Each structure stands twice: as C-alpha cells, then as structure tokens.
Chain A
C-alpha cells in the first residue's frame, strides 16, 4: 500500500489545462459549444458510443480521452453503458451492413434523442 501511495504522490496530477487556442473562430465555437452544453444538458453530456465497423483506432482514442492527461469527465462529458442513459449517440466506422439493425435499435432506445455524431 505504501508503494502505491508513494507512486500516486510522486506522479501527482498530470491532467493538462486546455491549450490556449490562437484561432479566433475556434474560440468562438468553443464558447458556443460550452453555452450549448450548459443550456441543453445542464453542463453534463452522456455519450453512448457505438462501433459500427471502425478499425478500432477510434475506440482506442476515445479511451484515451479518459486517461489522466485529458480527463474529459471534468468537462461534464461522460461515456455511458446504455443508450437509455445517453443524450448522444457517437457512431464510429462506415456502418457495416451487419451492424445496421443493432445500430438502429440503439438509436430508438435513446429515450430523448438529442444528438447523433458520426
């Protein structure tokens, strides 16, 4: 246990601040997005991710969003296990024919569908 605590203390918090964005357009969109997130989701967005034929690269990078460097949950974005808990469906891959039925089922299971991002 001491070794674990020692390691935790030595590494500290590695979570990075958002980079300062130079482009004014991006900053504007960022502000709009934040306002929208606050307005639509009360500052908390639940995402159900569905792989519909990706090469699994997308999944690995979405996982990375939850690692201690990015810690995306601190912005109120979290990934949930069921479409019934989700505000948004995030679809990766070209939508393979064999995933069509499962994907549309997930889609209709969202209680109140707000966004689908592909």
Chain B
C-alpha cells in the first residue's frame, strides 16, 4: 500500500502542536504504521486525530514488566496507524480518548479493569468488564495475576452498578436480563420508558467474560488459532483468519495462494450464513413466520454444504496458522456454484415479498433510526454503518489478499433504519455470491498450508479483516519459544453495541427485539 499523503501532513501538524512523535518501522504491523508518543501527549494526540477526521479503531494495553504499554489504532482513507505510549507501572495514569471519541468509552474501561490503567478525564469511571469475580484491586492482564485467578467460591451478582436513573410522572424502568427469554447470549438491558416509548436504554455487558486474553498467553500458534475461532462462534472463520494473519505477519510467513482463496471462500460463506439467519430472525421478531422459516431453510442448506465441503457447519478450526486445514474438491466447488445459482433464483422471489409486505413495512421502516452523524461519531461498522452512510469495508478500502485483486460491491444506504440494515444484508448476500463464484473460478492450484515458522521473541503482528459484522482487528505479540505473550481481538461489536442505545430511543418497547437483531452485537466477542 502506498504511504498516504494525509499521514505525512498529519505528522507535520503534530510537530507544530508540540506533540513529539517518533515513527518506528514495524514489519509485523505493516501496512499499519507505528508512532510512539509520550503519555502526557496521549489526550492531545487524540484531539488532533479527531480534527484530522481519523476514525478511532481500537485500544489495548499490555504488561511489559517495568512499564505498561498502551496502544490505540486509528484509520483514515484505508491507512491505519497505531499510537503507542509507555506508562510507568508506579503511576499508571494517562489522559483519555473518550472526550474526543465516544467509541473509546468502553474499550478504555475494559483496559482500566483488566490492566489497572486509569484514564484521568474519562467521563464514566464505572467498572465495565469486571463485575465481582476478582478483587477491585486486582488486574487480570498483569503478569502477576494467575491465569486461574483467585475467585471467591460464589461470585456475587453485580447489583451495585449505578445505572442512569430517570424520574418524573409516568416514567418506569424495565430491567431485562442477563438471562433473556430467547435462546440468545446473556446481557443486561435497563430501559426507562414512558407509556410504550423508550426514553433511554443502558446496556450492561460482561456476563460472558471468560478471560480469553489471559488464557491466550502461553499458547502456541495453533492453540491461539483455535482460541480465536471461539471468540465469537458466528464469526469463527473471520476471527481465526484475523488472528492467523497477525501471527503470520509476526513470523514473516507467506501463505500459499490457494489457502488465501479458500479462506476467503469460507469467510464469504460465513457472511452469507449469518445474513440469511438474521434476516429470518428479524422476520420472526415481527411475527412473519413465513420469512423466518424460508430464510431458516436457506441457512440450513447453506450450512450443510459448508460441512460437506470443509467438514464443519461453521467451518471452525479450518483456518490454521500458515493456511487452511481443509481442501475444496473439484466436485464440491461445482456443487457450490450450483447452490448459488439456485439460491439466487429463490432470493429473487423472496426479496420482493419482504419488500412489498405492508405489515413488514409498518414495523421495519423508520424503526430504530441511526443518523449518519451518530453512526460516524461512534465509528459504526459493517451493516450498521453501511445503513447509515458509512461505506467503510476493509475488503475494499484496505484490501488484504485475496480481496486486493477482486472487485468488491459494497451496498450503502442512508436511511439508517431497521429496514436499511436488513437491505444491506440482503444485498451483501448477493455480492458475496459473486465473490465466491469469482474465487472458485480462479482458485489456484498448489498446497493449502505452509509449514509454521517460529517467530522471534518479541515479534508482533496486526491482522485486520472484514467479518460479517464489520472490521475485526487482532494484535499478537510472541514471547519466547513461539509462545503467545499477548493476544487482543477487537470484535466489531465493541463499536456497534453503543449505537443500539442510541437508535432505540423514542421507539416503542415492542420494537426493541428487531432493533436489537438488526444490530446483532456479539456478547461473547465483546465480553472476551
């Protein structure tokens, strides 16, 4: 990728503002660029990045012994850069990015809970990831914290969290969860409502926190790929690919072209399976059972072929460091083509039914409106962003192999309602059909994996891919003997969950299910 002109100008601007940046080459992070700054400039740096219209992508910390390290990743026009600052262990305090970027709010609170770094001007110092499973003064990602922790025999419920409180005549509260009525993941929602209208929604997540970042430490590359495949089950291919990309960059390992194409075929199949299922689920939420069963049926036949072709309905553990573990036979490649042809015909008939049905229109149009401004402020990704005029797609704007040689069709809408998010997904299914066909037609011959090469101690790598929910980022640093010292996966849900709080306001309580389903944040991918 070419060096972006804006980046040079931006670095010059920082010098003018007396913010000293040292750019360091890092092969594992490339094409992202690494700039080192001092802790004191951390907040002002974000202020300048915001003025420069950079998008806030992720933040993560690391215990490096003497010092704690903080990283924040930004993006503009497809160029990523990482700002990094060392923090004194004895004085772990630094300015927050949240006053400039709303998206940084929860990730910084996660860092605060996990590493014991305090953000001095953070508007919301409440605990986020920690409920009460470990002591308030313990920080699981510090090296002296044992992987098993020192948990109490019975973890008490987290009932001392101070939710936003509303009062006035006719205002009432609805607490929902963590165990929901459906077969879904756990999380708590606190509604304030008047009559049927939602005044405010506050999310409380962290219930499925299982210490993924901590248990990643000490794993070998293959073990980390398996763990990454379980960050969020519906995105198992995307997360495993992102983690493997980071590890392969750290190791300087090139993977065979056939493996790259097979990874992309699996990733597109995963995208389509999730979109089909969720379109059906949105129909179910408005009691349109015809749509629910038709799309559920299509998802089932789609998953069955994934199993036949790659040996697993979710294609879990098919992406491994150095390539893939399952090959695609000539015969099943043909079967995939035939399935796409028949599904296109089915969808040609089904989409107009969804489009024309007055009762669907009544429930979905204008419901759960997310304005393009709010979407931008929160850095909304994937179909949530693309329904609100945020066109960013890693496959197109910061392409990685094999997407760099493909033509990616990214549907973008501006209405920002549930119907638009559904339409984005409907169009993405068709676009992914085309991609799979192109990938199969040009599928290179040759090996499907390269033998793993142990990276040097301290080698780091960054993987960024487009999962079905949007951009996924993974950071990996290796320690001695090829064992992982730090793994941080940033699921797109971190950035889309907060948008749900905004878009559900002024809607009626019974419309919450489809507002929620149209965003479909992952609890597991977020809670880690």
Hey, which bits of chain A sit against chain B, CB under 8 A? 3-4, 7-8, 11, 14, 49-64, 66-69, 79, 81-82, 93-94, 96-106
Contacts and interface: CB of A to CB of B under 8 A. Distances in A.
Given A50-B179, A101-B156, A101-B157, A56 B293 contact: no
Interface in B318-355: 349-350, 352-353
Interface stretch (B90-98, B181-189, B382-390, B427-435): B181-189
A100 B155 contact: yes
B155 A81 contact: no
B497 interface: no
Contacts of A61: 313
A81 B157 CA distance: 21
16 contacts: A7-B290, A50-B179, A51-B523, A53-B208, A56-B233, A57-B234, A58-B233, A59-B183, A60-B233, A61-B313, A63-B277, A64-B296, A67-B299, A82-B181, A100-B154, A102-B178
Interface of B: 131-134, 149, 151, 154-158, 178-179, 181-186, 206-210, 230-234, 236, 277, 290, 293-294, 296-297, 299-300, 303, 313-314, 316, 349-350, 352-353, 522-524, 527
B233 A102 contact: no
A56 B278 CA distance: 14
B181 A99 contact: no
B230 A55 contact: yes
A51 B233 contact: no
A19 B132 CA distance: 47
A98 B208 contact: yes
A81 B513 CA distance: 14
Contacts of B353: 3-4, 7
A102 B179 contact: yes
Contact of A106 (B179, B209, B524): B179
B181 A54 contact: no
Given A67-B300, A106-B179, A98 B290 contact: no
A117 B523 CA distance: 22
Given A51-B208, A69-B300, A4 B157 contact: no
Given A94-B210, A97-B151, A98-B207, A54 B524 contact: yes
A7 B353 CA distance: 10
B133 A98 contact: yes
Nearest to A5: B290
A68 B293 contact: yes
A63 B352 CA distance: 26
Given A7-B350, A57-B314, A51 B300 contact: no
B151 A8 contact: no
A99 B178 contact: yes
Contact of B234 (A11, A60, A98): A60
Contacts of B154: 100-101, 104
Given A14-B297, A67-B299, A98 B209 contact: yes
A103 B209 CA distance: 14
A102 B297 contact: no
Please list the 8 inter-chain residue pairs (A to B) with the smallest Cβ-Cβ separation, ordered nearest first.
Answer: A57-B233, A97-B133, A101-B157, A81-B181, A55-B233, A67-B296, A55-B230, A97-B155
Nearest to B316: A57
Nearest to B294: A7
